[in-house]
């Protein structure tokens, strides 16, 4: 299904999905979806509302179990049946609602559920140092104190904390659900810079986004889903704004269709 555009036979993707089906009762949410996510690259997952972006993300995160198809992790077939499975592989997801507890501070949120202990009690100093280091590595420098409650942070800062929380655990694949929705211009730039830094650290990054400005600013690769099918996937340079819109709305584009290389046919036989 779908076209693979301008794909060069690169290294093995860190994460691969092949022929993924998922249905909820009579509703077929995903049909024969293939997806490749590479280390050190940002992949933008685009699609209209209800196209299946969120379902696909939740399948990878282990919240839904797939009906058919296979996931591969660094070339090996894997089964992801629960969020625990995906976390064990090194997959972290930052959902749109961020899942931060407003009444807890930054350190407490970043370590929630994985607190470090000393003699059975919380080792606050140790956690604070580690959280400080992670934020500094990601150059999240605008927070006044790492001990301030998350409720007192701006939207961009909250997003940064959620991302830092996700990358703290030696994660290898980070999926961000609409990371710039509801953010202002400056904060959007701050979050996109953060996404680039994740890529530079060698993580595989998937960004779900509606916002084509963001997509073209940050993505190395683009994947478009339409009505539960992967209709196009390839290097960002092979797309332009109009073609992505075409794929998102109609599932096909006359513009990049002409530029599809031989891999497209191979993919189409699946």
Chain residues in the site for another protein (CB under 8 A):
83-84, 95, 97, 99-104, 108-109, 112-115, 117, 120-122, 125, 128-129, 139, 141-145, 147-149, 151-158, 182-184, 186-187, 189-190, 193
Distance CA 130, CA 259 (A): 47
**Between 38 and 64, CB nearer to another protein:** 64
**Between 61 and 231, CB nearer to another protein:** 61
Q: Which residue has tokens 């807890």?
A: 104
**Between 157 and 267, CB nearer to another protein:** 157
**Between 76 and 145, CB nearer to another protein:** 145
> What is the closest distance, in whole angstroms, from the C-beta atom of residue 156 to another protein in the complex?
6
**Between 189 and 255, CB nearer to another protein:** 189
**Between 16 and 199, CB nearer to another protein:** 199
Alpha helices in 150-208 (DSSP H): 155-167, 185-200
Q: First CA to last CA across the chain, in angstroms?
A: 6
Alpha helices in the chain (DSSP H): 53-61, 83-89, 106-110, 124-137, 155-167, 185-200, 212-218, 241-250, 254-257, 263-268
> What is the closest distance, in whole angstroms, from the C-beta atom of residue 163 to another protein in the complex?
15
**Between 78 and 87, CB nearer to another protein:** 87
Opening angle at CA 220, ends 255 and 29, nearest 5? 70
Positive or negative, the CA dihedral 60, 65, 68, 71 is: positive
User: What phi and psi, each to the nearest 5 degrees, are found at residue 150?
Assistant: -60, -25
Alpha helices in 82-184 (DSSP H): 83-89, 106-110, 124-137, 155-167
> What is the closest distance, in whole angstroms, from the C-beta atom of residue 103 to another protein in the complex?
4
> What is the closest distance, in whole angstroms, from the C-beta atom of residue 171 to another protein in the complex?
14
CA proximity to 43, closest of 30, 56, 24: 56
> What is the closest distance, in whole angstroms, from the C-beta atom of residue 122 to another protein in the complex?
5
CA proximity to 69, closest of 110, 23, 115: 23
> What is the closest distance, in whole angstroms, from the C-beta atom of residue 24 to another protein in the complex?
21
Contact status, residue 5 vs residue 260, Cβ threshold 8 Å: yes
Contact status, residue 42 vs residue 219, Cβ threshold 8 Å: yes
**Between 184 and 268, CB nearer to another protein:** 184
* CA 17 to chain CA mean position, Å: 14
> What is the closest distance, in whole angstroms, from the C-beta atom of residue 20 to another protein in the complex?
23
3-class secondary structure, 65: coil
> What is the closest distance, in whole angstroms, from the C-beta atom of residue 206 to another protein in the complex?
18
């Amino acid at each position: 299904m779908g076209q693979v555009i301008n794909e060069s036979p690169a290294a093995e993707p860190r994460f691969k999905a092949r022929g993924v089906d998922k249905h909820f009762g009579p509703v077929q949410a995903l049909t024969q979806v293939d997806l490749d996510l590479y280390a050190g690259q940002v992949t933008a997952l685009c699609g209209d509302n209800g196209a299946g972006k969120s379902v696909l993300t939740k399948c990878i995160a282990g919240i839904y179990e797939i009906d058919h198809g296979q996931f591969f992790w660094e070339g090996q077939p894997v089964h992801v049946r629960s969020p625990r499975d995906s976390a064990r592989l090194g997959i972290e997801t930052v959902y749109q609602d961020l899942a931060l507890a407003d009444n807890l501070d930054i350190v407490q949120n970043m370590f929630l559920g994985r607190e470090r202990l000393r003699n059975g009690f919380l080792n606050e100093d140790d956690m604070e140092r580690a959280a400080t280091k992670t934020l500094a590595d990601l150059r999240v420098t605008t927070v006044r104190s790492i001990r301030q409650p998350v409720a007192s942070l701006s939207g961009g800062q909250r997003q940064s904390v959620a991302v830092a929380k996700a990358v703290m655990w030696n994660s290898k694949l980070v999926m961000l659900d609409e990371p710039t929705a509801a953010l202002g211009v400056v904060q959007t730039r701050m979050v996109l810079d953060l996404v680039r830094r994740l890529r530079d650290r060698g993580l595989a990054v998937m960004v779900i986004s509606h916002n084509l400005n963001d997509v073209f600013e940050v993505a190395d690769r683009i994947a478009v889903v339409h009505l539960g099918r992967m209709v196009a996937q390839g290097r960002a340079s092979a797309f332009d704004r109009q073609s992505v819109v075409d794929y998102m709305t109609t599932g096909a584009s006359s513009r990049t269709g002409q530029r599809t290389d031989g891999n497209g046919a191979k993919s189409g036989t699946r």
